[in-house]
A and B are shown apart, each in its own frame.
Chain A
């Protein structure tokens, strides 16, 4: 700009810029710093320090009275906000992940998923979730595009997804795109943190867990970075503390519960991610995970003189999962987006169990009266059950996805992929059980059944192709996502192959978002969608020739799902969403065990069907003010039928009519947060107990001599009306966090109490009476599932 006056402060010399806005200033050689002022009417005067006299210096002037005020984002980015779609998916914000996941004995992102609408309450120790009336096995979890076949610890109590490595979660219980398959109930997509924004690290030390994570740039431009970390959980210390408290306060139930643990539950997880973003149009990443968990339970009553027939058991469980995946995402052209992924997973699971019964019991008077010719006054017994099972699975998977922009608002998506899984199953054992014989005598016996799972090495090749059209019409007034997918599975074992027919799954979802408001209801959106979903039964990887399944008889379970939804925004930054659905579930896999003699024969069927319908809603308050949180309610009606197992409609074992969740974060100050999580759920189906009847059974004592035992049995019958107790867990976490003075290190101390109401509920809710002693016929009150005492966790964390 011409005519700007430049004044050198020390000398007072003045200069003016020329037509091109340039001027040359001369200084003595002994000057190493100078201050100049640039002035022009209508602009703020600008002082400038000059230290480098060999370079051209550009000075920018601001118009008078204007202050640059680009506001810092006051709320964390709505992660994945653009991905959330009514009728399809819900994206969980970082704030909800932090508050809902980091509570309880294990930090697990599934704790945040469990409170979402559509999810049936699964307990504090249940990562297997039933969604909208479907079997928990219908849920598929994906981490950065890689399908994780067994992402759980402790037999499904918790997932492997640590909130410290998770960027966002997208939960899709609706009509999700044909890009994803092998899921009949819902898709859980976990996106991990991109480690390309500099140095960060954090650590957590709590009652039973030590965690540490670090993110390190590997180049000076932050284009290449690595994220790594671990979690060590071991309950040895916590168990000893609880036992000490139980012994000290003479709470026998508490002492007994932890006293039965022979190997304290443990989880050891290791994570690794590396990412390279050399430009906006190319990204490469590598993900790795290795996790181990296990637990041992032991109860030795043998030799306990207070018990006539004492039980001993020793159970050991080990689980190990390792996977590694790599992929690239690139824009070869402006209109084409390409994603490629490949990965490998190795999962091993081992169970080892021993159960022993030993003792002497005198016959009761009623038994002697019923059987007057008994040879003695009582009987001795010694039985041993022993069972081991080892399962090893390896798999490789790969996929290629292409998105092509036909126009600015229409995208053609297509791709395909395949996975090849190797399964090895070994195991053997026996178990003692009461059996009911067939006609004419219908004899009740207590016998040892040999159990030998088919030992085989099998391979399963699953492939898919899809094409999808995603279009936004009339300036986003209408969005249509429609596509078709084909899946095929080939099962291979020694001299044995099984094909499925190609499973065709069309899907369509339409969203209508008129730009209208109804009073306080703003930004309304409506959706309607329908589609077919399928998933191979988990057990299919252990099929063998002797099971008698013929080629093309094997089927994947399918769900014909229909969803309608409405979403609106309310005052006070609240979002409301409600969805209704109906599913017809068919080709359900089930097996029936028929015991004859001392062997069990397994028969397989693929003809189960089911209906599921219901609705769920969510009210979500974004982070602001003193209070934020989430409320959800789910109603599910589900009935299933297995034509070759009972052939009558029933409520499946995972069914609950009602599940309600309330998560509240209360922040009286910036440093202090009180998080409360309340769930309410009606019970799961409970069987109706029949009459307890006695019978005489031939058993052996420790020396192998035959004995006649007095035993009792009771049949139980399915009931449409009986339910287990309601669940009402209340968890509270109080945390205080701040930074050290003049430091970038943040610290947090927290105290969490899980299931605060459990002692109250245990004392007032009726106990189950389905358990009885098979030696005396006496009813034994069984506690409700879960612990009957609150679980306290104390922790301290630091991050940089």
Chain B
């Protein structure tokens, strides 16, 4: 079932004057963070007068499951003070990470590969849906601030799983629960099983998106890649 209610309008043409970049040196750094599984963050390190600053430029989201994987590379922004201890780094937030446009995307589903424009489109849509799911989860005060595994939210997102799987068919979604619990823009996605597939096929991406705004609290550390 496809979700085709959106309508795009091209609205703005922006012209910018050229400018000079002011980085004192180009020094790319890619690092991972434990609470953002499967994710790689890339930025440019600027050695300031007092402290080093990393300007985040890109984020790679990745997650696999038993029969495939999802990978997307996105433009990103964010700014952190950085201290390096061998392969470990300490980050202090200046501006939080934000994810922007997709650069590339690929999905493997069993033996089928979605690449190039098709892959990019599917990954973008998947990430958009997962971000919407995260925004819904964040409004639920009963859920923890930080997620360790995606299964922690199954009882809220998919209570039907407690009833067990039908022998011959996929899960039967409770449409009443959908309407009572979720906003309207999610209804068809949940009742078609799309959200379930997004979450079970990209669990690490869900965890990453959920933890993205809070991972840096209390000088969280990461590892250089």
Contact = CB atoms under 8 A, between A and B. Distances in A.
A744 B108 contact: yes
Interface string A45-64: 00111111111111111110
B11 A53 contact: no
A62 B185 CA distance: 13
Given A32-B19, A32-B21, A572-B169, A69 B8 contact: no
Given A71-B1, A197-B113, A60 B11 contact: yes
Contacts of A38: 11-12
Contacts of B201: 72
A72 B169 contact: no
B168 A32 contact: no
B85 interface: no
A302 interface: no
Contact of B170 (A4, A17, A98, A624): A624
Interface stretch (A21-29, A144-152, A356-364, A558-566): A21-29
B55 interface: yes
Q: Among B14, B55, B183, B186, find the residue whose CB has the most chain A CB atoms closer than 10 A.
A: B14
Contacts of B121: 70
A21 B10 CA distance: 8
A469 B188 CA distance: 44
A671 B200 CA distance: 13
A69 B194 contact: yes
Contacts of A57: 12-14, 16
B9 A49 contact: no
Interface stretch (A80-88, A326-334, A532-540, A734-742): A734-742
A624 B121 CA distance: 25
B8 A60 contact: yes
A28 to B, nearest CB: 7
Most buried by B among A52, A56, A70, A76: A70
A27 B14 contact: no
Given A70-B3, A670-B66, A27 B197 contact: no
Contacts of B6: 62-63, 66-68
Interface stretch (B123-131, B143-151, B153-161): B123-131
Contacts of A67: 3, 6, 128-129, 132, 185-186, 189
Nearest to A98: B111
Most buried by A among B6, B77, B115, B132: B6
Nearest to A67: B185
A69 B18 CA distance: 37
B146 to A, nearest CB: 19
Contacts of A443: none
Contact of A222 (B4, B115, B126, B170): B115
A27 B17 contact: yes
Interface in B3-36: 3-23
Given A68-B6, A69-B188, A72-B122, A24 B15 contact: yes
A31 interface: yes
Given A48-B100, A54-B16, A61 B11 contact: yes
A45 to B, nearest CB: 12
Query: Which of B10, B11, B166: most chain A Cβ within 10 A?
Result: B11
Given A51-B75, A197-B115, A625-B168, A29 B19 contact: yes
B65 interface: yes
Contacts of A69: 2-3, 125, 128-129, 188-189, 194
A627 B167 CA distance: 6
Nearest to A29: B19
A742 B37 contact: yes
Interface of B: 1-23, 37-38, 55, 57, 62, 64-67, 69, 71, 75-77, 98, 100-101, 106-116, 121-122, 124-126, 128-129, 132, 165-170, 183-186, 188-189, 192-194, 197-198, 200-201, 204
Interface of A: 1, 4, 6, 17, 20-33, 35-36, 38, 40, 47-63, 65-74, 76-77, 94, 98, 197-198, 200, 222, 572-573, 621, 624-627, 669-671, 737-739, 742-744
User: What are the 4 closest A-B residue pairs judged by CB atoms, nearest first?
Assistant: A69-B3, A53-B16, A670-B66, A1-B11
